[in-house]
């Protein structure tokens, strides 16, 4: 773990170390409901990234008992979540390589009954961005102004890289396949109560 302030530590664990230390960790999965339902580490608490601010009190309580390990598909969103938590004085680590690395090592993933496989958000963003760029270029052969769509997507990707944010991912998170169960709000409330009382 590396120190980022006098009171808060952040860092990362690879899948091997995370598996070895599993009994010492409270695992928090910040992917979309659809991603979480299609395969998550058994026992992981689901707190979608867009609900992180709402979960801060419960996560702070959980971190006071056991080390937090934040997980996403590849480690990008979880690293951002860890930075946000550190800014609020909540120590946490990110799982390097995310659930993809966890799965590659043969560790179990739990799937909700009837859940269909949902692509990782990073993959969805690449598909959406690529499709929009190609559409803009193709339409630009008939209407040159349509190429502005491709330019806009390119500019958005540059802005995303510079600011380490992703507006397209936030927009895609609202699609039905990413929203998951219709009772997701109730599930989040139950998760926050569990984290606040007896994280495990």
| 103-137 tens-digit pLDDT | 899 888 887 765 566 777 777 778 888 988 888 88
Alpha carbons 10 and 155: distance in angstroms, whole number: 31
The confidence band for 65, taking pLDDT boundaries of 50, 70 and 90, is very high
Residue 25, token pair as written in the block = 């960790």
| pTM as predicted | 0.71
What is the average pLDDT across 84-101?
A: 94
pLDDT digits (tens, 9 = 90+) for 146-181: 888 888 988 888 887 777 667 777 777 777 766 665
46 and 180 in contact (C-beta within 8 Å)?
Answer: no
β pairing state of 9-13 and 2-3:
antiparallel
Structure tokens at 169: 């991912």
Residue given tokens 């998951």 in the structure block: 180
Q: Using CA atoms, how far apart are residues 138 and 130, in angstroms rounded to an integer?
A: 12
CA distances from 124 to 16, 135, 168 (A): 27, 16, 9
Predicted pLDDT of residue 86: 94
Average of per-residue pLDDT values in the chain: 83
H-only helix segments in the chain: 15-20, 33-38, 52-63, 76-87, 98-104, 121-139, 147-163, 167-172, 176-179, 184-198
- Residue 34: pLDDT band with limits 50, 70, 90: confident
pLDDT reading at 192 higher than 70: yes
pLDDT band at 3; cut points 50, 70, 90: very low
* CB of 34 closer than 8 Å to CB of 177: yes
| Half-sphere CA count of 158, side-chain side, radius 13 A | 6
Rounded Cα gap, residues 135 and 149, in angstroms: 8
**Residue 5: per-residue pLDDT:** 38
Q: Tell me which of 25 and 157 has the higher pLDDT.
A: 25
At residue 83, the pLDDT reads: 93
Residue 108: its pLDDT value, please?
Answer: 80
Tokens of 186: 């109730």
Return the percentage of the chain with pLDDT > 90, whole number. 34
């Amino acid at each position: 773990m590396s120190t980022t302030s006098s009171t808060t530590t952040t860092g990362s664990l690879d899948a091997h170390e995370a598996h070895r230390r599993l009994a010492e960790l409270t695992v928090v999965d910040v992917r979309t409901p659809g991603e979480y339902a299609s395969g998550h580490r058994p026992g992981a608490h689901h707190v979608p990234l867009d609900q992180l601010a709402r979960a801060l009190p419960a996560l702070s309580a959980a971190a006071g008992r056991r080390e937090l390990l934040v997980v996403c598909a590849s480690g990008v969103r979880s690293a951002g979540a860890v930075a946000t938590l550190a800014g609020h004085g909540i120590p946490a680590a990110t799982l390097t390589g995310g659930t993809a690395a966890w799965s590659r090592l043969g560790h179990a993933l739990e799937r909700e009954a009837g859940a269909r496989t949902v692509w990782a958000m990073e993959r969805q963003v690449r598909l959406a961005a690529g499709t929009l760029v190609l559409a803009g270029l193709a339409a630009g052969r008939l209407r040159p102004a349509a190429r502005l769509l491709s330019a806009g997507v390119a500019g958005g990707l540059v802005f995303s890289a510079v600011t380490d944010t992703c507006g397209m991912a936030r927009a895609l998170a609202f699609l039905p396949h990413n929203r998951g169960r219709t009772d997701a709000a109730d599930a989040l409330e139950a998760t926050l109560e569990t984290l606040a009382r007896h994280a495990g």
